[in-house]
A and B are shown apart, each in its own frame.
Chain A
Amino acid sequence: QVQLQESGPGLVKPSGTLSLTCAVSGGSISSSSWWSWVRQPPGKGLECIGEIYDSGSTNYNPSLKSRVTISVDKSKNQFSLRLSSVTAADTAVYYCARYQHQLYDSWGQGTLVTVSS
């Protein structure tokens, strides 16, 4: 069973860049899957940020596209999220997840990122 674990700073200053990494264990990141980022503001619903295939192909949510970069590091079996020019509206729990067979079937535990000075 594949496991995912997010890591990165829990506090980012306004106008700064949020950077998170998702480590994949129990399976290869080169496994014909899309690897995704999803976020959830406190007390609110879920929003897809973007996804990457092991080939490097990406899809981004148009609402965030100008600020988002997702990359993959096959040698470390991990993928990463960068979100620039953050504001308080980007405060959320950020999840990484695997998309396979019409489902986000594996999720990380989530990491809270707060945007504050």
Chain B
Amino acid sequence: DSGVTQTPKHLITATGQRVTLRCSPRSGDLSVYWYQQSLDQGLQFLIYYYNGEERAKGNILERFSAQQFPDLHSELNLSSLELGDSALYFCASSPDRVIDSPLHFGNGTRLTVT
């Protein structure tokens, strides 16, 4: 168990809809990263938060947004969903951005857009 909790585990929704994915980092971890894993794109970095502040954006679509709350949990909002958004979405946490600290991943949310 990595200590990172993601909910829900599975999500099935229709095109055009909006969903929210939730992540609780490991106790004490201030950094939260979101990744998208799809068959054709592999593991893609979406966005990074540190102690409530957005620090970096990766290949995140404008239809997607995220935030980290004062209690350090994070939410990833996906709107106007398209079939191509179907993927496994991971949240990962680490104490900070030091390079010798691994990212610990949650079990992911598998999103299916129909």
Co-assembled chains A and B: no
Which residues of A pack against B, CB within 8 Å? none
Which residues of B pack against A, CB within 8 Å? none
